[in-house]
Amino acid sequence: MLIFTNHFFRPFIISVNNPPTMTTRKPKSAKPVKEKTHAGSVLSDFPIVGIGASAGGLEALENFFENMPVDSGMAFVVIQHLDPNHAGIMPELLQRITPMKVFQATDGLKIKPNCLYVIPPNKSMSMLNGTLQLFAPVESRGLRLPVDVFFRSLAADREEKSIGIILSGMGSDGSLGLKAIKEKNGVVMIQDPDSAKFDGMPRSAAEAVAADIVAPAAELPGKLITFLKYIPVIHPDPELDSKNKSNLDKIILLLREQSGHDFSQYKKNTLIRRIERRKGIHQIDKIQNYVRFMQENPKETEILFKELLIGVTSFFRDAAVWEYLKEAILPAMVDELPDGYMMRAWVPGCSSGEEAYSLAIVFKEVMAKLTKHKKLTLQIFATDLDQDAIEVARRGVFAKNIANDVSPQRLDSYFTDESDGFHVNTAIREMVVFATQNVIKDPPFTKLDILTCRNMLIYMEPALQEKLMVLFNYSLNPGGTLLLGSAENHGAHKEGFEEIDSRLKFYRRTAAPLPH
């Protein structure tokens, strides 16, 4: 069986096979995406493209917009690292390149299709309900990360209609935001690092997320338009006819033969979304042709396997969850446990380790606040199906842009700032054991006090969800704490657990064990 994770993977750099490339400086026309109307109101369902760039970005932006049709039906928002002390002239520079209307963003400005918006100097920018919101910039340890900030809000606001593009630049800004877009089934594109004047941002992005398209800046518009033409609307509960079901089963078989993991109890809607994305990249119109393509190209099967595991993780994700764990859950558990006790925790689907390390840090903070010292320790077992993700987690080295999620105090206390990123301190690293594991097939960890499984069950059919909930009940000690993801519904699988906080998804294992 399979395990689904909150994580990223090392990418396979890919490109669309022989798409039409636009090289002329004269903008062409494309069939626009029209806004739908409902009950007299306009629904903003057109794609919004966020473009992040810094050093060398102007040349890349010029190459991009020279080749983007004026009526693509998309809106474009450019987030570039700008000198905060100089007036912005980027709108004027880009207006010379494209006949699209170019605006410097203002607070509350409504985004419209076939327009281009540029972040003003000395501002941070987010998006809510299709409008741009400007803030005073927040610096973490001297870093400004405006691309990550905007991409994350774009993903939340536009979901599958969000498109994130990273062009030339230094540093790692944008990588975390691309992962958020990927999680929402948006489109991720990266300028080929070899073609970028400064390859730091493109290379960091390529290491963080499996991009849909990697190409020189001038080729990205044509590839994006071609890609979107091949992506159909996916309904929430697709009805499969016998022919399509047969081909879907063949894909599941090919995946099982190559990866050893069975996706037959994976939610069909998610399977189809990922398959349609891969079909679009290769401009394959019929699912039976994609089956043949997989048979002839084992590398494609490997990429699809990685795509099906795509998720997102970050340090202290959902801040309210960690605050409640620190202020209520852990202190109550510690108070009841005997001196010298070793607590045990399991983080299945740990991805690149942020969740497990966050738990270790919060435990350290709780123990430091105790007025009566107890010699309690915590051993965390963190597992994932993907070996690449586990290797990243074991290294414990994270890009500088984790400063978006980790406070300066925590960075100073639990990390070492090195040239290649923030290194998790030895005291935290030694609390966590990372291992490759298939949670369905392999033996579970048992006698646990804490189990965190966040946003993994949502990818599974109800029968598999129920099986895992029984497994988690068996793994936890009576009174042990289960934490699920914000998008997961405990629903019909609550037997053996009582709610601690239904909004934050904390549950307590009841005294009576379930049959298994």
Most distant pair of Cα atoms in the chain: their distance: 75
Helices (H), 159-286: 175-183, 200-208, 220-229, 242-259, 268-281
Strand 124-128 to 131-135 pairing: antiparallel
Answer for the pair 509, 480: CB distance below 8 angstroms, yes or no: yes
Q: Return the sign of the alpha-carbon dihedral for residues 469, 470, 476, 479.
A: positive
Q: How far apart are CA 152 and CA 52, in angstroms?
A: 12
What are the DSSP E strand ranges found in 309-376? 342-348
State the DSSP H helix or E strand holding residue 234, giving kind and residue range, or none if neither: none
The H or E element that residue 386 is part of is none
Say how far apart CA 127 and CA 48 lie, in whole Å: 11
Name the token pair of 196.
């970028």
DSSP per-residue string spanning 169-186: -SS-TTHHHHHHHHHTT-
Q: Which of 157, 173, 384, 405 is catalytic?
A: 173
Residue 16 contacts residue 361 (beta carbons within 8 Å): no
Yes or no: say if 120 and 104 are a contact pair by the CB < 8 Å rule: yes
Catalytic residue, chosen from 54, 204, 352, 475, is 54
Distance CA 382, CA 402 (A): 20
Which of these is catalytic: 7, 44, 72, 81? Answer: 81
Report DSSP state, residue 328. I
DSSP, collapsed to helix, strand or coil, labels residue 309 as: coil
Strands 36-38 and 506-509: unpaired
What is the SS3 string spanning 113-177? CCEEEECCCCCEEEEECCEEEEECCCCECCECCHHHHHHHHHHHHHHHHEEEEECCCCCCCCHHH
Per the annotation, the verdict on 261 as an active-site residue is: no
SS3 assignment, position 61? helix
* Cα–Cα distance, 486 to 502 (Å, whole number): 10
**Token pair in block for residue 351:** 């991805």
Active site amino acids: 54, 81, 173
